[in-house]
Amino acid sequence: MNLDFMKEAIRLARESKGGPFGAVVVKDGKIIGRGANQVTVLNDPTAHAEILAIREACRLLGTFHLGTCELYSSCEPCPMCLAAILWARLDRVYFALTRQDAAAMGFDDEQFYRELTKPALPMQPVGRELALPLVAEWNGKKDKTPY
């Protein structure tokens, strides 16, 4: 853990125009991805600091796996960002503020974590039989890039 990387994440959060959140992705002691919340600037609910930092790091490295990297975030990642962190296979996450701190600033992180323990919206499977051939097609594909 390097406090200088957290300071950079906090600096990005402080300068952000889209919400008070910043994040950096670090590999081998160097920042390879930076993100500052851009949700309200881009009108994009997925433009969280962690997501943007992950995207930049992946572009720089030319991969979608960041298994040798760490993420520093000014705040505990929301469920969406946590899912992206898991998909990116980051080694470790450090965060400063908690989801309760985010709630104190008026953000829904804590509520979303609670919602994940129960159905958040109506969901219903439709057309499974139409899509089921995709399983065999994908499994039989010789040129696929596994996740």
User: Residue 38 and residue 46: Cα distance in Å, rounded?
Assistant: 9
Active-site annotation holder among 8, 15, 50, 110 = 50
Closest of 79, 94, 73, 71 to residue 22, by C-alpha: 73
| Beta-strand runs (E) in the chain | 22-27, 30-36, 69-75, 92-97
- Are 55 and 33 in contact, with CB atoms under 8 Å apart? yes
Residues, the chain, total?
Answer: 147
- 129 an active-site residue? no
Residue with tokens 């889209």: 18
Give the residue numbers marked as catalytic. Answer: 50
